[in-house]
Structure 1
Amino acid sequence: MEDIYEEIRNVYKRYPQPWVIGYSGGKDSTTVLQLVWKALEVLPPEERQKPVFVIASDTRVETPVIVDYIDTTLQRINETARALGMPFRAEKVMPTLNDSFWVNLIGRGYPAPTTRFRWCTERMKITPANRFIEEKVAQYGEVIMVLGVRKTESSTRMQLMNTYQVKGHLLRRHSSLRGAYVYAPIADFSTDDVWKYLLQVPSPWGNNNEDLAALYRNASAGECPLVIDTSTPSCGNSRFGCWVCTVARRDTSMEALIDNGEEWMLPLLEFREWLVTTIDPERKREFRDIRGRDGRVVFKKDGTLAARTYTLNTSKIMLHKLLVAQKEIQQHGPDPTMKLISDEELFEIRRIWRVERQDWEDSVPAIFRQVNGFDLPWPKDDDHVFDSAQKALLEGICKEYDLPFELLAKLLEVEKQSIDITKRAGIHKALTSILTQEWGDESQIMTAAREKNVFYQEIRLDLALPSVAEK
C-alpha cells in the first residue's frame, strides 16, 4: 500500500495539471478517492496546493437510496477538506433541463432506452461530465482525470486502457477529450483488493465503509461508474444507477432492496416494469406512433412499419403513473418532500406538449391537479396559445375537408411562433418541412410503399403533399 501511496504522490507532484476524480458512490470510485486522500494528507501544505476536483454525476433519476448517500458524502468531503486544508472540492454535475430524462421521455415522446437506442447516456451522463472537464481544460489548459477503472472489469476495458497508454508514463490519453489525461491508480486491483482496502482503512472524511458494503449486499448488484465515453457499459442492472433504466429486462437491484426492507420503493419498481412493456416488441405499437418527431416513417426488414415515438396519449398515461408513484413514496417513504420529477421539468413538458404536440387542452396542469389535489405556479405564457375550444373547431374543419388535424395544427403553431417580424426569416422552410412529412394513415403508407417498392429502408413519403397543397 505504501508503494501505491508513493506513486500517487509522485504523479500529483510531477505533473502541474489539476486532478478531476470521478466519484459515483460505489466501491471502485470510493477506493480511488480514499487512496488519493490518504496519499496526499502526509504532504506538507505547500506541496498539496494543486486542486483536486471531485465530481459525482446526478442524472436526476438516480436510485433514491443512493442520492442521499452521495449528497451526504460530498458534503463531508468539502467540510473535512476545508477543516484540514486539503485540496479537494466536491460537487455534482447534472444534465440540463433540455437533456433531462423526463423532458425527453414524457415531453418529447422518446421511447424508453434499449441496448440499441441508449439515447439517455450521452445526454444525462457523458455530456454533463465532459462539460465540467472541458471548462477545467479551458481554465487550466489540461487536466488529469483520476478514475476508478480496473482492467479486470472486462476485456474491452482492458483493451481500451492499454490502447491509450502514454509510453513511459502512468497516464493515458483520454479517448475523445482534448487536453485530458487519465490516471487509474487501481487499474490492477481485483474486486477482493478493493473490498479488503475499504474494510481495513477507515474513510478519512468520516463515512463508514461498512455502510457501503451493506448497500452492495442489500442490492446484490454492482455500481455505475462516472461515464465519460461510449465505451462504458450500461448501468441497467446496477445498484448505483438510474432507477428507470430499461436497458436490462429486470431490475434485480431494486428488487433486492425492496426484499431487504425498502418496501416504500415498490411504486418505483412497478412504474419501471410498466415502462418496460412499452418497448416490448410484441406490444410497443400499443404505445407508440408510426411517425418520429421528424415526421418520418421507417420500414423494418419484414416490410412492416416500425414503432417510433410515444403517442401523446401514452405520454399522458405515463405522467399520471409517475405522479401517482411520487405521491405514494412521499406518503410511505423516508422523505415526504422527495420528488421523482421536478417542477421545472413539469413546466417544460407542458410547454413542449402545447407547442410541439398540439396539446391544446393543456393536460399537464389537469393531470397534476387530479393526482395531487392542488396546483403548481404554472408559468403565465398563454399569449397566442390555442385552447380546447379552438381545437374542437379546427378538428371539425379538418374533418369537413378530409385533412389531418395534426398537420393544420403544426402549421398554425409555426405561424404563431413566427408572429414577431424578426422570426419570420425561416418560416417558409419550417412550413415546407411540415408539409413534406408523412401525413397518410398506415394503409395509405403501405399502399404507396408497395407501388414505389421502397420497403427495407428508412423513407419519408410525400403522400399528402399534392392533395394538401391543392386544398
Structure 2
Amino acid sequence: MADLERIRREIADEYAAPHNHPWVIGFSGGKDSTLVAHLVFEFLLSIPRSRRTRHVHIVSNDTLVESPLVINHLRQVAADIREAAEVFGLPMSVAITSPEPDKSFWVNLIGRGYPPPNRTFRWCTDRMKIQPTSKYIKSQASVTGQVILLLGVRRNESATRASTVARYDNGERLNRHNDLVECMVFRPIVEMSTKEVWEVLAMNDPPWGGSHGHLIKLYSDATGGECPVMTQKNEVAACGTSSSRFGCWTCTVVDKDRSLEGFVESGFAEFGPLLDLRDWIASIRNDASRRMARRRTGQVTITTDGVFVPGPFTPLARREILDRLLKTQEEVGYPLITDEELDLIRTIWAEDAIVISTAAARELVPHRF
C-alpha cells in the first residue's frame, strides 16, 4: 500500500526533526487512533536505541461515564502498550486522564441540577474531555516548550471532519493547534480511507502483542464509530454525532445511543439498564415540573423571542435521578458513580438548601444515601 509507506516515511522524518519536543498521541481506543499508535510503536521498534531520542506519550481520556465495553477495551490496550514499551525499552508513557470530580457528569447533573446536554447546551465536552487532556498536554509542553500532538483524524471521516481538516491545512506537515499555544498538530493518516485503515489493522497484528480482533469485534457489535480524543473547542460538534457513537453511555446529545443499542442487540443484555436510564434522563429534560424557574445565579432567563428558559432540575428531581442511578448500579453490578462524587453531591445539596428556601430543598439534605 503506497500511502502506508508514505505515512511511515513522514513519521520517520518528523521524529528525526532537530528538536526534542515530545510527541503526544491522542488515543481514544478507536480504529484511527489505534492505527496511529500502531505505526508509531512499530517505528520506534524499527530504529536503534540511540535514535529513540523523542519521548512519546499516549494519552487517553475517561469521562467516567464511558461505554463499559469501550473503556474496558481502552484500558486493556493501554496496559498492553505500557507493558510492551517497558519490555522493549521504548521512550513511551501511557496515561488516562479524567475530569476533576467537581466537573464530572453526575456532580453537574445530580448535584447542580444541570439538564442533560443537548446540541445547544453541550456543557459536558469541555469539562469532561477537553480540559483533562489539555491539562496533560500543557504539563508536557511546560517541560520542553512545545509538544507535537498526533491525531488520528481523517479527511473522509465525515463532511464535518473534512471541513475542519481543510480549515487548518497550511500546506505543511504540522499545523498550529487552535487553542493550545505550545502545541503543533501532526495528522499522519489524514488522507487514508476507512477501508485502508481497516485493511491495515486486519492484516497486521499490533506491535505491542495480541491482535486487533477485539477492536474489530467492538465495531461489529456496536455498528458505530468512536468519539475522538478532544483537545479544542471547535471539535465539540464531533462529540455525540451519528458518525462518532462510541462515547459516553449517558450521552443525550444524540436521539438514540446506537452503539449501546448495538451491544445489547449483539448479546450484551446486561447493558439494557444503562440504556433505559439514559433514555429516561433524556425524556425528563424538558419536564417543567422537574425544573426550577431560576438559574443557579438566581436569574430568570427569557430569550429575545420571549421564550422562558427554565433553570436546573428541582431538588426533588435530582433526588429522583440519584435514586434511579443507584438502582441501576445495583442492577448492573459495578460502580456507575464514585464515593467522591457522592460526597460532592451531598455538599452541593447542603449549600443549595441554604439558598433555596423551599420545603423540598430542606428535606433533601437529611436524606441519607
What TM-score results when the alignment is normalised by the length of structure 2? Answer: 0.92
Q: How does 1:43-122 map to 2 (within 5 A)?
A: 43-122=47-126
CA contact (8 A) 2:113 2:314 kept: yes
Cα distance in structure 1, aligned partners of 2:256 and 2:112: 25
Pick the aligned partner of 1:313 from 271, 295, 316: 316
CA contact (8 A) 1:346 1:364 kept: no
Coordinate RMSD, CA, aligned: 1.6
Q: Quote how far apart the aligned CAs of 1:239 are.
A: 4.2
Which amino acid counterpart does residue 309 of structure 2 have in structure 1?
A
SS in 2 for 1:89: strand
Pick the aligned partner of 1:329 from 332, 347, 362: 332
Q: How does 1:346-357 map to 2 (within 5 A)?
A: 346-357=342-353
Q: Quote how far apart the aligned CAs of 1:166 are.
A: 4.4
CA contact (8 A) 2:291 2:314 kept: yes
Q: Aligned pair in 2 of structure 1 residues 327, 365: CA closer, same or farther (>3 Å)?
A: farther
Counterpart in the other structure of 1:20: 24
Specify the structure having the higher radius of gyration (Cα). 1
Counterpart in the other structure of 2:339: 343
Per-residue Cα deviation, 1:43-66 (whole angstroms, up to 9, x for no partner): 100111311000001001001111
Q: Quote how far apart the aligned CAs of 1:313 are.
A: 0.6
Q: Quote how far apart the aligned CAs of 1:86 are.
A: 1.4
RCO greater where, 1 or 2, for CA within 8 Å and sep 6 or more? 2
CA contact (8 A) 1:236 1:242 kept: no
1:279 aligns with 2:285: yes
SS in 1 for 2:309: coil
Q: Aligned pair in 2 of structure 1 residues 91, 191: CA closer, same or farther (>3 Å)?
A: same
CA contact (8 A) 1:111 1:309 kept: yes
Q: Quote how far apart the aligned CAs of 1:231 are.
A: 2.4
Cα distance in structure 2, aligned partners of 1:254 and 1:329: 14
Cα distance in structure 1, aligned partners of 2:158 and 2:222: 21
CA contact (8 A) 2:319 2:364 kept: no
Q: Which runs of 5+ in 1 are unaligned?
A: 331-337, 369-471
Pick the aligned partner of 1:243 from 229, 244, 249: 249
CA contact (8 A) 1:166 1:173 kept: no
Cα distance in structure 2, aligned partners of 1:75 and 1:364: 43
Counterpart in the other structure of 2:272: 266
Q: Which runs of 5+ in 2 are unaligned?
A: 355-360
Counterpart in the other structure of 1:436: none
Cα distance in structure 2, aligned partners of 1:217 and 1:364: 47
CA contact (8 A) 1:25 1:240 kept: no
Cα distance in structure 1, aligned partners of 2:108 and 2:51: 46
Counterpart in the other structure of 1:234: 239
Q: Quote how far apart the aligned CAs of 1:73 are.
A: 1.0
The size of the alignment, in residue pairs, is: 356
Cα distance in structure 1, aligned partners of 2:241 and 2:250: 9
1:11 aligns with 2:14: yes
Counterpart in the other structure of 1:374: none
Q: How does 1:53-452 map to 2 (within 5 A)?
A: 53-167=57-171, 169-232=172-235, 233-235=238-240, 237=242, 238-280=244-286, 284-300=287-303, 303-330=306-333, 338-358=334-354, 359-361=361-363, 363=365, 366=368, 368=369
Q: Aligned pair in 2 of structure 1 residues 248, 159: CA closer, same or farther (>3 Å)?
A: closer
Q: Quote how far apart the aligned CAs of 1:72 are.
A: 1.1
CA contact (8 A) 1:236 1:245 kept: no
Runs of 4+ in 1 over 6 A off after TM superposition: none
Q: Quote how far apart the aligned CAs of 1:7 are.
A: 1.6
Q: Quote how far apart the aligned CAs of 1:287 are.
A: 1.6
